């Protein structure tokens, strides 16, 4: 499954790159892209694990950029 989410208050391109790196390290992630310009997260993972992977991705993003919100 591949889904794209809007990001709010992502203020730093370097932070976006760090978020993407962190999300790609999650087991089960097939593809991840964090676009600073478009303010979007695209995530692809196995259907059965998607919700848990998304929760872990949200935690990674909050740790790197606390003010950034993933619009679910």
pLDDT of amino acid 5: 98
Give domain limits for the chain. Answer: 2-71
Q: Which CATH architecture has domain 2-71?
A: 2-Layer Sandwich (3.30)
Asked if residue 36 lies in contact with residue 13, where contact means CB atoms within 8 angstroms, the answer is: yes
pLDDT of amino acid 69: 95
Provide the whole-model pTM: 0.94
Long-range contacts of 20-25 (CB under 8 A, 24+ apart): 22/60, 22/63, 22/64, 23/57, 23/60, 23/61
Provide the β-strand partners of residue 40: 6, 35
The segments of the chain whose pLDDT lies below 50 read none
């Amino acid at each position: 499954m591949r889904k794209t989410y809007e990001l709010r208050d992502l203020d730093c391109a370097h932070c976006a790159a760090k978020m993407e790196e962190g999300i790609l390290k999650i087991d089960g992630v097939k593809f991840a892209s964090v676009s600073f310009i478009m303010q979007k997260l695209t995530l692809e993972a196995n259907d059965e694990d998607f919700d848990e992977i998304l929760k872990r991705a949200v935690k990674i993003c909050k740790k790197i950029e606390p003010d950034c919100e993933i619009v679910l």
